[in-house]
């Protein structure tokens, strides 16, 4: 059962994690989790990838995602298309679309990830 009370926290309180399929310093902070102690539906996190860090190509069958790039640049694969992405870009990733992201820049790649079940 999701939390029934509002949540306020500072991102400094949340540890960095390197999830499954993430490599080379592809880190995330789960700021609002969907499930038992968080949101009813939305998973909201900030990610920070070191140069050359990446998430392996994968897809979600029951989730849609939005990536909002805040800093840096990288290469985003969506299906069969690969594009350079940088601060200010927003990507919508529907269910069943294979995707991967790699930091191809010289500094950190920082972006927000919003995940919602469909």
- pLDDT for 49-101, tens place per residue? 999 999 999 999 999 999 999 999 999 999 999 999 999 999 999 999 999 99
Say which residues have a Cβ less than 8 Å from residue 23's Cβ, sequence separation at least 6.
53, 54, 55, 56
The pLDDT value given to residue 6: 86
- Which domains does the chain possess? 22-117 (2.60.120.10)
Alpha-carbon Rg for the chain, nearest whole angstrom, is 14
Say which residues have a Cβ less than 8 Å from residue 113's Cβ, sequence separation at least 6.
28, 43, 44, 45, 46, 47, 65, 66, 67
Rounded to whole angstroms, the Cα distance separating 9 from 112 reads 16
pTM: 0.93
């Amino acid at each position: 059962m999701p939390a029934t009370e509002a949540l306020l926290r500072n991102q400094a309180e949340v540890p960095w994690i390197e999830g499954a399929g993430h490599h080379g310093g592809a880190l995330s902070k789960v700021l609002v989790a969907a499930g038992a102690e968080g949101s009813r539906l939305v998973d909201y996190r900030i990610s920070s990838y070191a140069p050359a860090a990446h998430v392996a190509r994968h897809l979600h069958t029951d989730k849609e995602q939005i990536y909002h790039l805040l800093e840096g640049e990288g290469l985003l694969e969506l299906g069969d298309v690969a594009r350079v992405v940088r601060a200010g870009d927003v990507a919508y990733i529907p269910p069943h679309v294979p995707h991967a992201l790699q930091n191809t820049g010289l500094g950190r790649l920082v972006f927000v990830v919003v995940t919602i079940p469909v």
